[in-house]
Copies of this chain bind each other. A is one copy, B any other.
Amino acid sequence: MSEAVSARQLQKERTRGALLEAALELSSEQGFAQTSLRQVAKRAGVVPAAFYRHFESMDELGLALVERCFGTLRTMIRDASRDPQVFLQIIDAAAEILVEAVKQNKADFAFVARERIGGSEVVRRAIGHELDLFVSELAVVLARLPNIETWSADDVQMVSRLFVRNMVANAEEVVEMPEGRPDLEERIREGARRQMRLIVLGFKDWRS
């Protein structure tokens, strides 16, 4: 594999990581678009000029951040979908995963949720593309569900988008949620559960 990492490469990777981490922190405090190159460098413990040894611009760092966030998100969902229990009670599981995962990777989700709409053109497009991929992936799973097998590809895509969209909206709510309010948290979880149940209810009567 990729053995023989020289001490230089290792150190480089380390400060690169520090820059990403610093950017993520600052983004969750004030938003990525409001975060300056100098702030990132300072928090990473590095002089501004050193930034350019790792990224050409803040946009490039933003793209790297998008990739990193969706990476952890993907592994999380892949792990969850391996669990057979999840497949049986897909709704409760999804609601549970949603709240827990968001709470544990708050910074990552906050970044995606905020920059999906607000920030720089490049970052926004990248996130949009990743979310479209997600919709398609979920559509493949949904297409195998009992009531849906017979649907047209367009309809499956539509309902998949409906799900992802609500997931994102719920994630946004958890991110925005003030710390240490388990009541609010349970409320969001319950709301998500009911919304999904309502949507699923419509499945068996759907036509065209």
> What residues make up the interface of A, taking CB atoms closer than 8 Å to B?
31, 33-34, 113-119, 124, 128, 155, 158-159, 161-162, 165-166, 168-169, 172, 176, 191, 194-195, 198-203, 205-206
Chain B neighbourhood of A166, CB < 8 A: 162, 165-166
18 A–B contacts, CB within 8 A, in A order: A31-B33, A33-B33, A33-B34, A33-B118, A113-B117, A114-B117, A115-B118, A124-B176, A155-B194, A158-B191, A158-B198, A159-B195, A168-B169, A169-B169, A198-B202, A199-B202, A200-B202, A202-B202
A170 to chain B, nearest CB (A): 9
Assuming the contacts A155-B194, A201-B202, asked whether A31 and B165 have C-beta atoms less than 8 A apart, the reply is: no
Contacts known (A199-B202, A200-B202, A202-B199); A31 close to B159, Cβ less than 8 A: no
**A120, chain B: closest CB distance, angstroms:** 9
